[in-house]
Amino acid sequence: MNLEEYSGIWVFLEVKDGQIAPVSLELLGAGRQMADKRGVPLAGLLIGEGVASLAEMVFPYGADEVYLYDEEIFRDYRTESYMRAVLECVEKHKPEIILYGATSTGKDLASAVATDLQTGLTADTTMLDVNAETGLLEASRPAFGGNIMATILCKKHRPQMATVRPKVMKALPPDPNRTGQIIRETIELREEDIRTKVLEIVRETKEKVRLDEADVIVAGGKGLGSREGFELIHRFAEKIGATVGASRDAVEAGWIDHQHQVGQTGVTVTPKVYFAIGISGAIQHIVGMQNAGLIIAINKDPEAPIFQSSHYGIVGDAFEIVPILMEAFQKMPDKEVQYGGKI
């Protein structure tokens, strides 16, 4: 394989509800930086039916070009049809890097494409960089349940590919004056050749998950003072779609069932966000939650050890702070943010 033949950075533009998915715009932001570093163009790859109008929308976010497949056969996402388009386009234009959002669609597509291209694919990347000279992509991601970070390279194969978690890259502020070139592509693909059919798409809201699988946990401790006080935790958790956790002392006080206990003699949790409210931070508690992505402590004792183990600490009375927090969430502009982002 002649690596020199491959040039340019691509972003797979995922379409969701007739819009370019936020994660794709984020990837254009990250891709722009890398393309500048390399001095190569940044292209979007847009596949769908009736999506031509969306192509224009991505230039303000940093794309120089968009490869567009706009055909009826692409109405619904299907691995086999989309994959064909990507494979053909890659064959024709030979990019050095392709980024996909680590969404169910992005991951599904990238895995299939990587196999056919016999190239490397790094999953769920959270950091990206590129070597200006060699064009080598440095894709870093959490591994082993978040216990370590690993940087993954693909030295001898092109294109280098990665899926990237939503919300970890930043979209550029749109520049309405930026324009680019739309390159229309066509493909020979008949419906009979596609072995899967989408019969129906059903939208629904998510239900709650278990503590050890929860993405957001609101945990309360002895500092809540009473069973009634602990209600605050339930209310806050419900408000933000979180799961309720507790310290052992709160459990032993009988305010909440043992199955909510986090820690050495409880559950070990790895949520993306962990609120520790009125919890002192005993080591037995810490061992159960220290791998959370973001730990936020609320405690009225400025000396409480929990502050040593949290990313952000608020010194104050839970009964004052939490209601203000709940109000702030209520006012949050982007309430239905896409689920599945990881920190």
Partner 1 sequence: MLHIVACIKQVPDTKIIKMNPKTNTMDRSSAPAILNPYDAHAVEEAVRLKQRYGGVVSVVTMGPPPAVKAIRKCVEIGADEGYLITDRAFAGADTLATSYALTKAIEKISEIKPVDLVICGKMTIDGDTGQVGPGIARRLDIPPLTNVNKVVEVNQSEGYVIVHRKLEDGYEVIRSTLPCLFSVEKEINEVPYSPLPNMLRAARYQPVIWAVNDLGEIDRTLLGLKGSPTIVAKVWPPEKPKGGERLEGTAQEQVSRLMEILQEKQGLFRVKEEQV
Partner 2 sequence: MAEKFDVIVVGAGPAGTACAYTLAKAGANVLLMERGEYPGSKNVMGGVLYRKTMEDIIPEFYKEAPLERPIVEQRFMMLDKSSALTFSYKGLEWAQEPYNNFTVLRAKFDQWFADKAVKEGALLLNETVALECIVEDGKVVGIRTDRPDGDVYADVVVLADGVNSLLAKSLGFHKEFRPDEVALAVMEVLKLDRKIIEDRFSLEGDQGCTFEIFGDSTKGILGTAWLYTNKDSLNIGVGAMLSGLIKHKIKPYELLDYVKNHPMLRPYIQGSEQQEYLAHLIPEGGYKSMPKVVGNGVIVVGDAAQLVNAIHREGSNMAMASGVMAAETILQAREAGDFSEKMLDMYRVKLLDSFVGQDLKKYKDATHHFEKFPQYFEQYIPMMNRAASQMFTVDGTSKWEKQKKIWRDIGTPKEKWRMARDLMNAWRVMK
Confirm or deny that 18 is annotated as ligand binding.
no
State both tokens at 202.
């059903």
Smallest gap, in angstroms, from Cβ of residue 260 to partner 1? 17
Question: In angstroms, what is the minimal distance from the CB of 23 to partner 2?
Answer: 40
Partner whose footprint covers residue 341, from partner 1, partner 2, ligand FAD, none (CB < 5 to 8 Å by kind): partner 1
Closest CB 326 distance from ligand FAD, rounded Å: 15
Paired with 244 in beta bridges are 218
User: Known binder of ligand: residue 283?
Assistant: yes
Place of tokens 């016999």: 118
Pairing of strands 65-70, 216-220: unpaired
Pick the closer one to partner 1 by CB: 49 or 108. Answer: 108
Q: For residue 265, say whether it is annotated as part of any ligand binding site.
A: yes
**Number of chain residues interacting with partner 2 (CB under 8 A):** 3
Q: Please indicate if the annotation marks 223 as binding a ligand.
A: no
User: Tokens 């739309």 — which residue?
Assistant: 182
Residue written as token pair 């978040």: 146
What is the per-residue DSSP string for 54-74? Answer: HHHHTGGGT-SEEEEEE-GGG
Angle (deg, nearest 10), helices 318-331 and 227-239? 20
- Indicate whether 132 belongs to the interface with partner 2 (CB under 8 A): no
Q: How far is the CB of 213 from ligand FAD (least distance, A)?
A: 18
Tell whether residue 268 is a contact of partner 2 (CB under 8 A): no
* Shortest distance in whole angstroms from residue 283 CB to partner 2: 7
Q: Which does 319 bind (CB under 5 to 8 A by kind): partner 2, ligand FAD, partner 1, none?
A: ligand FAD
281 is in an annotated binding site: yes
Residue 262, marked binder: yes
Residue 321 structure tokens: 């702070």
Question: Which residues pair with residue 68 across a beta bridge?
Answer: 46, 184
Which of partner 1, ligand FAD, partner 2, none sits in contact with 178, Cβ below 5 to 8 A by type?
none
Phi first, then psi, for residue 14 (nearest 5°) are -85, 135
Q: For residue 186, state whether it binds partner 2 (rule: CB under 8 A).
A: no
**283 is a contact residue toward partner 2 (CB under 8 A):** yes
Coil, helix or strand at residue 10: strand
Edge-to-edge, what's the strand order for the sheet holding 97-101? 121-125, 160-164, 97-101, 9-13, 42-48, 65-70, 181-184
CB of 308 to partner 2, least distance (A): 16
- Contact status: 290 vs partner 2 (CB under 8 A): no
Q: Is the distance from CB of 154 to CB of 96 less than 8 angstroms? A: no
The type of residue at 256 is: I
Structure tokens that stand for 117 in this block: 């291209």
Q: Which residues bind partner 2 (CB under 8 A)?
A: 264-265, 283
Residues flagged as binding site for FAD: 247-248, 261-265, 278-285, 299
